[in-house]
Every structure is written in C-alpha cells, then in structure tokens.
Amino acid sequence: MGKTSEAAILALARQQGGVVGRSQILAAGMSDRMISRRLTTGRWERRYPGVYVIGGAPPSWSQDLWAAYLAVGRGVVSHETGLVARGIEARLVPRYPLTFTVRHGDHHSIPGTVVHQIDDVRPHHVGLVDGLPVSTPARAIVDLAAVVGRRRLSDLVDVVTDGKTSIACISACAGELARPGKRGIATLGAVLDERGPGYVPPQSELERRLFGALAAAGLPLPARQFPLPGRGAVAGLVDAAYCDVRLILEADGRRWHTRVQDLRRDHLRDAEAARVGWQTLRFVYEEIVGDPDHVARTVADVRRVRSGLMAEPKQPDGENR
C-alpha cells in the first residue's frame, strides 16, 4: 500500500513541477505520519504549509507556480501569470509575482503572490494548461485593464492579439462582463476603439447579419422590433424577441466608449424585462461579424434551456423551497 501510494505521488509530482499538496497525498492513501517521516529524512521539503517539494525535483518557474497554486487554495491562474502560462513571453509580461484569482474571502496569503478576489469568472473564461486552470487571453486582458495604466494595457492588447486571441474575442469578453462600476472597462473600451475597424454599421445592417446567422444555423427567426417587455417603468423596442421562450436578442454596433456610457441604460432595460421573466442576450458587432457561428450556438443553447425551464410544471406555494 505504501509503495503504491508513493508511486502515485511521485507520478503526480512529475506533472506538477515536483510539488504535491497535502490533500492530494492523503487522497493517494498516505498519512500525515508518513509525510512527517519523509520531511524528517529530507526526502521531501515543505515549501508552504501543506505543500511539499519532492526531493530531487529541480527548481523551476513551473514548480513555483504549482506550489503557489496549491498553497493559495486553488482558484485560477490569471492576469500576467495567466498570459505567461499560455506561452506569452514579452517584456511587458513579468513572470513574477505569481498572480491568481479566487472568489471573495477564499484564499490564503502567500509570499510572492498577488491574489485578486473576483466573483464573475465564468467557466468559459478558463481553460486547462498543463493541468492548471488558466484564464483565457481575452479574460486576462479584461482583468488587467483594472490594474494597469492605459499605455501598458495598449501594449498588452497588441501582444496578445499577435497570435493568442483577437480584438473580437476581447470585445466579446468585455461586453459580457461590463457593468456600471466595473473597473477598467472604460479604459479597455478606448483601447479597443483605437484598434477596432472604426466602422459603426447601420443598425439595420447589423440586425440583418444577426438574422442571417440564426437562419444559417436553422433557427427560427425571432420577431423584430418587439416592444420591451416589462411593467411599464422603461419603454422602447428591442431588436428581436423569441416570445415562446421569453428571450430578447440585442445587436450592439456602438463604439466601445458609447457602450460604456450607455451601460446603465442597458442594465435598466434588461432588468425591466427580467422582472417579467425575460432573459436578454446582447451581441456586439465584433461577435456578430467575426464569429456568427458562436452567436447562433449561444442562441440555440439558451433557447433549449429556457424551453425546458418553461415546460417544467409550477410548484404550488410552499413547495420546492
């Protein structure tokens, strides 16, 4: 049992830069007494509380990253460190300090690391790189916009759009996360406007492209210029609506600085519709033109989910609480 457990730990350590965490060791079948024995004999070395370096493992950046990741309490490798982990090597992307993102109140303080507490990291903003959860390049740029100056942000956008992501992907990620008071969004919007095509299409043209993407994917066409659902607190029309599943589609061709200025108005409109059970999907120009297949897949997925939810029988008051 002991030899089998140790072999499993050694195999795991080879995948993690030579380090393992206490929870991993216990899960493999070893005990705290076995850990203490290996520390006493020098076969293992304590790097941080609950994190151990296997004897003979050479120091490396990967080892530092894994050790800090395990010590911080997991989370996501993010910001500059996320870019380095994805192979972006540049003067503007330092390898240290190591940077992570966790939920609010969910981390340990580790020397040599910066831990950001952010609650809006979504599953598609993260991907595995050599076993570690790492922010996508687009998400890393949105996060960095909150902590670096405009000049450096401009240079970072240029670095990551040279083969790692695109202006369209960054724009889509920023649009998804934008909200009144979200730090860095206005600065990032100005940077994206400088690098964007500079073209603001007529709303009718952008809607035509949106409906074309839906039709190409075999989706039913929504109702156009539909009255904004709600209780009358906010008036107006929405670009399109699927009444059968209470889903609104908005095509946004505004330049970024205008989008940021109008964030509060957009959120008021979305909230008004949500009060009566409608969900709003907003697609920016860069998404509709640059990746219409993704737009159509998103609409199809949300339609399917909402159709299932609306088909569920309602529970009488007092049940299903």
Q: Which of 133-142, 150-159, 165-174 has the highest mean predicted lDDT (pLDDT)? A: 133-142
Question: Tens digits of per-residue pLDDT, 205-254?
Answer: 888 889 999 999 999 999 999 999 998 888 889 999 999 999 999 998 77
The beta-strand segments (E) located in the chain are 19-21, 44-48, 51-54, 76-77, 98-102, 113-117, 126-129, 132-135, 223-227, 237-242, 247-252, 279-284
Distances (CA, A) of 284 to 83, 224, 263, 295: 25, 17, 13, 10
> What integer pLDDT is reported at residue 279 of this predicted model?
96
Helix (H, G, I), strand (E, B) or coil at 31: coil
The answer to whether residue 320 scores a pLDDT higher than 50 is: no
Across all residues in the chain, what is the average pLDDT?
88
SS3 call for 279: strand
Amino acid 155 reads D
State what percent of residues in the chain have pLDDT above 90.
59
User: In this predicted model, what pLDDT tens digit does every residue of 129-146 receive, in sequence order?
Assistant: 999 999 999 999 999 999
pLDDT exceeds 60 at position 321: no
| Stated pTM of the model | 0.70
Structure tokens given for 246: 């209470």
Contacts of 246 (CB under 8 A, 6+ apart): 229, 277, 278, 279, 306, 310
Q: Can you tell me the distance from the alpha carbon of 190 to that of 308, in angstroms, rounded to the nearest whole number?
A: 40
Please give the Cα distance from 244 to 200 (Å, whole number): 31
